[in-house]
Amino acid sequence: MTTIAAIVFWTSAGLLVYAQLGYPLLLWLLAWASRTAGPAPDEAVGGEGPLVSLVIAAHAEAPVIAAKVANALSLDWPRERLEVIVACDGSPDDTAERAREAGADVVLELPRGGKVRAQDAAVERARGEILCFSDANAIWEPAALRRLAARFGDDEVGYVCGQVRFLDAGGNNQEGLYWRYEMALRGLESQLASVTGGNGAIYAVRREAYLVVDPVMGHDLSFPFNMVKRGWRAVYEPEARATEKMVPTIEGEFARKRRMMSHAWPIVLRGGLLCPRGYSPLYALMIASHRALRYAGPFLHVLALVANVLLLGSGWIYLAAFVLQLAVLAGALAGRVLRARPLMIARYYVLTTASVAAGLWDYLRHGTPAGWAPPEGTR
């Protein structure tokens, strides 16, 4: 029994450490050994550039849609080469009217069908050679579109995601810290092969590479690996920048990630993410390390804790590991009332890790609805 518990403990703990620390180190070493700087151009695309359609899927976005359209129209891109499309997904307010007043080229008023179906409808109407997508509350920097478009100068690139920076609303959410870590990983993945995930705030797709996916499977996770399977590269462009308001609280971030994971689990379990067919060995390793192990995190933590309890009395290292795990959990509880940074980081880590399991529970219990609503405090 002790031998089995030891195997479970060291395997679980080892995989957790590898996923969080070993994998980034491995990517850095591979990038250093390859001595490649990646295909990112020094300059953004010049001249008129191709015709671009910028799609903004919107549900109940009246407070921010006019500012978003104005931001799109102010981008450093010829107006006659830019088509702004607002796809209203059953909006219960005057989002569509405000989008028209702000100058959107096309405004679609669609029945409620979810973000993905709204994006699909917009793509059917779009005229652009490059399809860009953004959230209604994401503000792009002026050069962002040129930076995205420049990456399509490489004929192998089918998908490009930019860098989103979260604005601190003065709450206790620690998402900004995590996101900087995530962007560093994304940059290394892009340099070596392709990214394993994107974001909804700023990304673009070559028109012929666009995929129609299950409406519960968002583009952020389903597009990159599917692009790779179809022979395209999915890359990250850090100079294409956008800002988005952060969910103010860690508890709000838990709810947001729980909803996101209820959409991610269908992709993991039945969407083909874990099937290595079409992957290079390196990209398969990336998917296993960055996605499979990340989503296994809460279950590995439970296994490690249970095995650790069974191993108490078998040596000082198991006592130290047990105390460390209890300290993280205690810090997470204390972080609810005390705003000390280490405690808030512990709370963020515990709750966002738990959100992965909560999202799976939601998906298995009642499925995943295609519809979505803006997270509280982000508009």
Give pLDDT, residue 376: 64
Give me the sign of the Cα torsion angle 330, 333, 337, 340: positive
Confidence (pTM): 0.91
CA–CA separation, 53 and 70 (whole Å)? 15
Q: Tell me whether strands 203-206 and 233-245 are parallel, antiparallel or unpaired.
A: unpaired
For the ranges 206-215, 283-292, 367-376, the lowest mean pLDDT is seen at: 367-376
> In this prediction, what percent of the chain has a pLDDT beyond 70?
94
CA–CA separation, 158 and 233 (whole Å)? 6
Q: Look at residue 222 and tell me whether its pLDDT is greater than 80.
A: yes
| Predicted confidence band of residue 47 (pLDDT cuts 50, 70, 90) | low
Output the six-digit token pair for 287: 């998917």
CA–CA separation, 290 and 58 (whole Å)? 30
Q: Look at residue 169 and tell me whether its pLDDT is greater than 90.
A: no
Residue among 63, 68, 113, 112 nearest 86 (CA): 68
Q: Which residues of 100-134 are buried (b: 16+ CB within 10 A; e: fewer)?
A: bebebbbbbebeebbbbbbbbbbbeebebbbbbbb
pLDDT per residue over 293-341, tens digit each? 999 999 999 999 999 999 999 999 999 999 999 999 999 999 998 889 8
| Predicted confidence band of residue 173 (pLDDT cuts 50, 70, 90) | confident
Residues with Cβ within 8 Å of residue 192, at least 6 apart in sequence: 27, 30, 31, 34, 36, 282, 286
pLDDT per residue over 70-119, tens digit each? 999 999 999 999 999 999 999 999 999 999 999 999 999 999 999 999 99
End-to-end CA distance of the chain: 53
Q: 60: how many CB neighbours lie within 10 A of its CB?
A: 18
What's domain 52-249's architecture? Alpha-Beta Complex (3.90)
Output the six-digit token pair for 131: 């399809």
Query: What does the mean pLDDT of the chain come to?
Result: 93
CA–CA separation, 74 and 169 (whole Å)? 25
More confident residue, 368 or 375: 368
pLDDT per residue over 348-369, tens digit each? 999 999 999 999 999 999 888 8
Give pLDDT, residue 35: 73
Bridge partners (DSSP) of residue 133 are: 55, 203
CA–CA separation, 176 and 169 (whole Å)? 11
More confident residue, 369 or 16: 16
Give me the sign of the Cα torsion angle 293, 295, 297, 302: negative
More confident residue, 282 or 169: 282
CA–CA separation, 290 and 220 (whole Å)? 14
CA–CA separation, 182 and 186 (whole Å)? 6
Give pLDDT, residue 37: 46
Q: 34: how many CB neighbours lie within 10 A of its CB?
A: 11
Report DSSP state, residue 373.
-
**How many residues in total does the chain contain?**
379
Which helix (DSSP H) or strand (DSSP E) does residue 317 occupy?
Answer: helix 316-334
